[in-house]
């Protein structure tokens, strides 16, 4: 069973993150991801970047459920915080 820290490390290995928070109970995980890699990409493309990068873990059911609650650029994240 994965820990939130392990899922966080998996995501961090895919792209450079300015902010990355993962919560979960070992079965379902929720991620907030802020990265400049998302610049110019649609919401769907941002989610695909993460899900495609974790495809092996998802396919093997090692990573059962990942909900990406935030996939924002640093500027979008900053605007949302105010």
**Locate tokens 């929720």: which residue?**
30
All structural domains of the chain, each given as residue ranges with its CATH number in brackets, are 4-81 (3.30.300.90)
What's the pLDDT score for residue 43?
Answer: 97
What's the pLDDT score for residue 27?
Answer: 87
**26 φψ region: left (φ > 0), alpha (ψ -120 to 50), beta (else):** left
- φ, ψ at 5 (rounded to 5°): -65, -40
What's the pLDDT score for residue 79?
Answer: 96
Q: What is the pLDDT of residues 8-60, one digit of tens each?
A: 999 999 999 999 999 999 889 999 999 999 999 999 999 999 999 999 999 99
The band of 64, judged by pLDDT with boundaries at 50, 70 and 90, is confident
Q: How far are the Cα atoms of 12, 19, 47 from residue 55, in angstroms, in the given order?
A: 15, 22, 12
């Amino acid at each position: 069973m994965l820990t939130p820290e392990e899922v966080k490390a998996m995501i961090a290995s895919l792209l450079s993150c300015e902010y990355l928070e993962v919560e979960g109970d070992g079965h379902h995980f929720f991620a907030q991801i802020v990265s400049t890699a998302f610049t110019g990409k649609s919401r769907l493309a941002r989610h695909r970047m993460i899900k495609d990068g974790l495809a092996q873990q998802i396919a093997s059911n090692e990573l059962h459920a990942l909900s990406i609650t935030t996939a924002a650029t640093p500027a979008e994240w900053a605007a949302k915080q105010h």
